[in-house]
Amino acid sequence: MIRRIAQIVRLTFRMHRFEVGAVVVLGALLVVGSIIASWALANVGLGPDCQPNFETGELPESCIAEYETFNRIASLASPISALMVLYPIITGLLIGGPVIAREIERGTTSLAWSLSPSRLRWFLHRVVPMAILVVAMTFIVGAAAEHLTRALTPETDLAASFVGFRFRGVLMATQAFLLASTAVTVGALFGRAVPTFLLGLILGMLTIVAVGLLHREILLEEAVVQRQDENTFYSNDDLYLDSRLELPDGRLVTYEELIRIDPRAFESEFGPQYPNVSLIIPGDRYRTVETREAAAELVLGLVFLVGGAFVVTRRRPT
């Protein structure tokens, strides 16, 4: 049984060795680059005593040289961070796009489906190894991205902060899985590699954005109200969701709602005379929010794979 599984995995990877090699090499380079950059940033020695003064924004004179060195290294590390953001998209499409579409396009499915006892088994033999590769590689790169973010923001506890939200950690792996699953289904429908890449990118990104927007509506119901005044201190660790105006009766309304309630509210040169409040999610809820969004993307990815399997079992050979 183990030998049979090994043969299936080896055959699948051999059929897509260019895509697999590109994803693995790029991921390895990003991980190594992030480790080197994190090591260089950590060696600068920019500790808590070298943070800008909150009121004046000035640095202690003894820390100016270290701060400039830190910023110089951070600017050199920015291309690594940018590629890490794109890595889930590249991996999801490059691996998920051709895995089904290429065989249909080349016409090899007719023979394969006639020899295979089950099209569903044929589908799983090709999709499961590639899905595992996508999740594993993007999870490793996501962990490296979290490590680099920690080095870039040494004063931040990332376990209780929304700094770099969606661009580090497990969400990078679930986004790549959702994109790959979308591409698999699109490939099963159209059976052409190039349209699969384009439509898979569009549909996958729209799905990820839709998950984020829906999750935002849920978070708005759970948000903490933060009133804005001269004594308010904003934290980068919190997730800002929206700004509202507070009516005398305690209701929170948007600017559009306020115009309907009080059409003269904006006639003053100083703006509406109602307190402005922010709706935020505290940073200590980061892991809960991350887990919930990751679970939603995983479930949607599995739904797309089920859809792809259904299309394969119903598709006529070409």
pLDDT band at residue 55 under the 50/70/90 scheme? low
What mean pLDDT value characterizes the chain?
Answer: 85
- pLDDT tens for each residue of 175-203: 999 999 999 999 999 888 889 999 999 99
Nearest to 164 by CA among 191, 142, 197, 188: 142
- pLDDT tens for each residue of 211-235: 999 999 999 999 998 876 655 667 8
pLDDT band at residue 61 under the 50/70/90 scheme? low
pTM of the model: 0.88
Q: How far apart are CA 115 and CA 103, in angstroms?
A: 15
In the prediction, which pLDDT does 231 show? 58
pLDDT band at residue 255 under the 50/70/90 scheme? confident
Q: Can you tell me the mean pLDDT for 145-157?
A: 90
pLDDT band at residue 246 under the 50/70/90 scheme? confident
pLDDT band at residue 165 under the 50/70/90 scheme? very high
Look up residue 283 and give its two tokens: 């940073």
Question: What strands, in cross-sheet order, belong to the sheet with 276-281?
Answer: 224-227, 276-281, 239-246, 252-253
In the prediction, which pLDDT does 34 show? 95
Judged against a pLDDT cut of 80, whether residue 14 lies above it is answered with no
In the prediction, which pLDDT does 302 show? 97
pLDDT band at residue 2 under the 50/70/90 scheme? low
Q: How far apart are CA 46 and CA 66, in angstroms?
A: 6
Q: How far apart are CA 1 and CA 252, in angstroms?
A: 62
Q: How far apart are CA 138 and CA 176, in angstroms?
A: 7
Q: Can you tell me the mean pLDDT for 272-280?
A: 81
Nearest to 89 by CA among 13, 203, 193, 192: 203
Q: How far apart are CA 183 and CA 16, in angstroms?
A: 15
Which percentage of the chain shows pLDDT scores above 90?
48
Phi and psi at residue 241, to the nearest 5°: -110, -45
Any idea which of 30-44, 116-130, 213-227 has the lowest mean pLDDT? 116-130
**Which of residues 11 and 163 earns the better pLDDT score?**
163
The answer to whether the beta carbons of residues 41 and 151 sit under 8 Å apart is yes
Separation of CA 104 from chain center: 30
In the prediction, which pLDDT does 240 show? 92
